[in-house]
Amino acid sequence: MSRLMPKKLITESNPKSPISEGYRMLRTNIEFSTIDQKLQVIMVTSSKPNEGKSTTCANMAVAFAQANKRVLLIDADLRKPSQHHIFGTSNRIGLTSALFKQKLLQEVIQSTNTQNLSIIHAGPTPPNPSELLSSMHMADLLATIRELFDVIIIDTPPILSVTDAQIVATYSDGVVLVVDSGTVKKDIALKAKASLEHVNAKIIGAVLNNINRNQSDSYSYSYYYGE
């Protein structure tokens, strides 16, 4: 499997930074957000593109893996996948390969350089992403994966762009909405929330990106708000 130059994930490159601590807070809040239901499959989406959802997914996955959880990150953004760029691995095979029965599940689960963290990339772009994600093959695949991993984090397209995220939300135990605090207006964020509620998704909180913590510190920071 060919490897590209991976991006630096803050949770790995600087685990003592305030941003990394923010991801650990996110992990903790997710773990304790409910006492009645196990949050095993966690979907992450945003209202629109370029809000940082894929980077958030990757850092969340690392944070859970660092807590000695068996973690699987699934790139279900079949239209514009990015996890293979983040991790520097090939997107030649992935989720679509398994759903089309071209590869076995164990063949599309790739290891990463992070202990306890595995990944399924999106794979080749299909002509029918929504139909593929809503298929029985997808439901069966997730049922199998639940038996193999403690935490499954799913990266999906923006909720207001296509129906894919709404579909995946129906398989998930909880949904995290990523919001770019610098560009997304309140009405757009509320519209995204309503789209998730329309399919009875369990929204467990939101991550705010690009918070300017003070005038001299403008780098991105993530924070969790539970319901």
**For 190-222, what is each residue's pLDDT tens digit?**
999 999 999 999 999 899 887 765 533 433 444
pLDDT score, position 8: 76
Compute CA distances 73 → 40, 112, 185, 218, whole Å: 12, 10, 29, 28
Helix (H) or strand (E) holding 74: strand 71-75
Q: What is the pTM of this model?
A: 0.90
**For 73-100, what is each residue's pLDDT tens digit?**
999 999 999 999 999 999 999 999 999 9
